[in-house]
Structure 1
Amino acid sequence: MLAPILLVLCRIVQGLSASGEQASAISVSLEHSAEEKRSWTTSWTLHGTQFGTLLATAVFVPFTAFLPDEALFSWGWRVPFWLSALVVLTAWLIRRGLDEPPAFKESRVENPPLMQVFRWHKAAVVRVAVCAMVNTVNMVFTVWSLSFATSIVGLERSTMLLVSVIANGVALFAIPAAALLSDRFGRKPVFITGAVGSGLMMFPYLGAVSAGNWPLIFVFGAIMSGCAYSLANSIWPSFYAEMFPTTARVTGLALGTQVGFAVSGGLAPVLASAVAGAGGENWVSVAAFTAGVCIVVGLVALTAKETKGLSLEEIDVVHEERSR
């Protein structure tokens, strides 16, 4: 009984840590950035996340390909986690030399950030939480479709993991490219195009998986996750962060994103399995569910203010007017 209890506690600590880690990294990037390159600069925080996902998946590939199931499930799965200690050490060394951004140093904190968020920025937190549910695409792609492909369709697990590796490799190039588009044309059009587009692309991707068509699985996986989803995934750091003033940015961003990630990450695979039916074969319903969530995300994103042409000082003024 101790094992599941410890696992849940460790997962909670990890979630709390990731919340502060990601929101802080985005905020410090945004506030150190040149005004005309804020989306491009903050996109590198997601570029790092994408590379981490790629690295984690790639590390697992040889273990799943060459270890027998008995060894993989008893000790083999632990080795990649041990290797992550090298990444933790590197990250710690980088953080030791970080300076606070000028925008934060010049700001006047009159109320605790959490109080500001709950008093004046509740709508922004809800908007961010709903928009963050675009993560449903990623959860269906990395969790449900893998189980569907291997358990229902009977495809090889190691090859399906390579689909994720290829998609993440494409995303390494798509993320900064999408961010440059955002700095030129605005946050909302790029984010909404990516959210709705990736949701709709789930139909041909899951159709290819159902048919066991390897060439189309790789092509549609790269287009859906590597390209379309990267449009939204690249933009959200600047898009969400600019919904809050400097004095409450980290708190509001962390609260909104983690609520959305928790709901989509926890419920998306469960709901996908539920709509797939008792036999787990109804992939059309799973694709429709994913597309429906993404359309809702796009509609909610439309209600946000476009901040591409505003400086951080002007964004703060907009939020200060709300708090008066």
Structure 2
Amino acid sequence: MPRLAAASLAGTAIEFYDFFVYGTAAALVLGPLFFPAFSPVAGTLAAFGTFGVGFVARPLGSVLFGHIGDRHGRRPVLVASLLLTGASTVAVGCVPTYGTAGVAAPVLLVVLRFLQGLGLGGEWGGAVLLTAEHAPPARRGLWASFPQVGPPVGFVLANGVMLALSAFLTDAQFAQWGWRVPFWAAAVPAVAGVWLRSSLVESPRFLEIGAHARVPLVEVVRRHGRLVLLTAGALAVGYAVFYTVTTWSLAYATRRLGVSRTVVLGCVMAAVVVKGAFTPVAALLGDRYGRRPLCLVGCAACALWMFPMVMLLATGAPLAMFAGFLGALLAFVTMFGVIGAYLPELFEPRVRCTGAAVGYNLGGVLGGALTPIVATALSEGGGRVPWGVGAYLTALALVGLACFALLPETRPVPVAAPEPVIG
């Protein structure tokens, strides 16, 4: 289990590094480089639009790789998805800007971002299922949380590279070539990740399946359609909160509040590190008290914290921004720390790879793809405090709370020991 968990964590960290480095670049530099004819606000919206394309592709990736995972095994999904995401990420670093290639530049950017999302759509389901289906029932939440630690590790790596480049390069150097370095750097961990994953063994639950679903997506839609929609609606707020903190806040604080790029990245990274450390703790609580109660608590905390978060962000003070980000991410991880065990347990094994991945990634479309665009639009033209963003996130949290309330609990019930026979 430790070796398997380490491989899953490493793989998700690499793939989410690829995904996050694009989001940071979209917030900081892609607007003027690829959409120079737009105003600063419109350029940022256009860059976030290309960012959102990756989320639109993720459910398609979950269908494609979910079919492979349910028909041919979880293990092949891990290698193929990592190769696709890594190759498309390196290619983003080679795309010429609008000034060199004209309209072809943003078109290439959109295509490569789509391929990134396609690969990531298969990554989560394969990594989580391979770990969860090997894990003992009493500690499934804990072991399945290791792939969930991968995203914060990937985020810290991606933004650590961006932070170092921001600190040592001038703005002109960063815009000219510095932003490309994190994309090129993705090649090394991608190759290492493929080598690490190629030696993993297949999931025992998959090997036990007698009759595999012929077309898993059709079976999921017919038999589990309501479950997929509920999970997507429930998870949307988690994505929205995470990408508000890690993507939109970068653009808002630097452009609107005039805060240094280095300061904002440092505040966000510190909050993400704490969030990553708390992920196994939330998973252990889920093993003890149940998956659904943790999700309900996390959603309620999101609903209560969104207005304080935007107030703290609007101060522009580093400690205040860090406190706002940290509160939001701890509420987020209270939900997402148990999702690695919760979603697979909701679906039967023969369609689990497709069902869990589609529900997870549809939530990403609803929460992750739209939030930076909606938040940017809501924060324009108002006062210093983006109250509209707080209201939008609170509304999503209430929707998530209702969806989680309609989902069942799945934590395995311990089998009671037989009473001793007194002769």
Q: Distance in 2 between matches of 1:280 and 1:264?
A: 24
Aligned AA (2:165)? F
SS in 2 for 1:98: coil
Report the Cα distance in structure 1 between the residues aligned to 2:229 and 2:262, rounded to whole angstroms. Answer: 38
Root-mean-square deviation over aligned CA pairs: 1.6
Q: Is 2:144 the partner of 1:144? A: no
What residue number does 2:342 align with?
Answer: 239
Distance 1:131 1:209 in 2: 25
Q: How many residue pairs were aligned?
A: 310
Distance 2:362 2:139 in 1: 28
User: 1:31 maps to what in 2?
Assistant: 133
- The answer to whether residue 243 in structure 2 is matched with residue 132 in structure 1 is no
Opposite residue 186 of structure 1, the aligned amino acid is G
Q: Which amino acid aligns with 2:161?
A: V
Higher relative contact order (CA 8 A, sep 6+): 1
Query: Which amino acid is 2:182 matched to?
Result: P
Match of 1:268 among 341, 351, 371: 371
Aligned pair partner of 1:104 in 180, 183, 206:
206
SS of alignment partner, residue 121 of structure 1: helix
Q: Offset at 1:180? A: 0.2
Q: Kindly provide the amino acid, as one letter, of the partner of residue 124 in structure 2.
A: Q
Cα 1:235–1:105 shift into 2, 3 Å: same
In the aligned structure 2, how far is the partner of 1:140 from the partner of 1:110? Answer: 40
Distance 1:229 1:56 in 2: 20
Which whole-Å deviations, capped at 9, do the CAs of 1:22-77 have from their partners, x for residues lacking one?
A: 11111111100010111111110010121111111111101112211111112101
Residues 211 and 181 (structure 1 numbering): CA distance in 2 closer, same or farther, change over 3 Å? same
Amino acid of the residue matched to residue 174 of structure 2? L
Quote how far apart the aligned CAs of 1:302 are: 1.0
Deviation for aligned residue 1:115: 2.2
State the Cα distance separating 1:250 from its structure 2 match. 0.8
SS in 2 for 1:201: helix
Q: 2:313–2:324: 8 Å Cα contact kept in structure 1?
A: no
**Counterpart-to-counterpart distance in 1, 2:224 and 2:313:** 42
TM superposition shift of 1:308: 0.5
The C-alpha deviation readout for 1:168-187, integer Å capped at 9, x for no partner, is 11012200000000000000
TM-score w.r.t. length of structure 2: 0.70
Distance 1:214 1:110, change over 3 A: closer
1:181 aligned partner: 285
SS at match of 2:210: coil
Residue 67 to residue 279, structure 1, CA distance change in 2 (3 Å): farther
Give the drift of 1:251.
Answer: 0.7
Question: Displacement of 1:263 after TM fit?
Answer: 2.5
Identify which of 46, 58, 73 aligns with 2:148: 46
Structure 2: gaps spanning 5 or more residues: 1-102, 415-423
Between the aligned partners of 2:189 and 2:383, the Cα distance in structure 1 is 37
State the match for 2:327 in structure 1.
223
Please say if 1:254 is aligned against 2:327. no
The aligned amino acid for 2:284 is L
Do the aligned residues in 2 keep the contact of 1:54 with 1:164 (CA within 8 Å)?
A: no
Deviation per residue, 1:287-318 (Å, 9 max, x gap): 1111110111111011111001259xxxxxxx
Deviant stretches of 4+, over 6 Å: none
1:65 to 1:300, Cα distance in 2 relative to 1, 3 A: same
CA deviation digits over 1:164-222, x for unaligned, max 9? 11011101220000000000000011112123313432322221221223222222322
Distance 1:78 1:109 in 2: 47
Q: 1:55 aligns with which of 147, 157, 181?
A: 157
2:267·2:318 contact (CA, 8 Å) conserved in 1?
no
* 1:156 and 2:250 correspond: no
Does the CA-based 8 Å contact 1:26-1:45 persist in structure 2? yes
Counterpart contact for 2:236–2:400, Cα < 8 Å = yes
1:69 aligns with 2:180: no
Give 1:109 deviation, angstroms: 2.6
Conservation of the 8 A alpha-carbon contact between 1:188 and 1:301: yes
- Give unmatched runs, 5+ long, in structure 1: 312-324
CA contact (8 A) 2:302 2:332 kept: yes
Equivalence for 1:21: 123
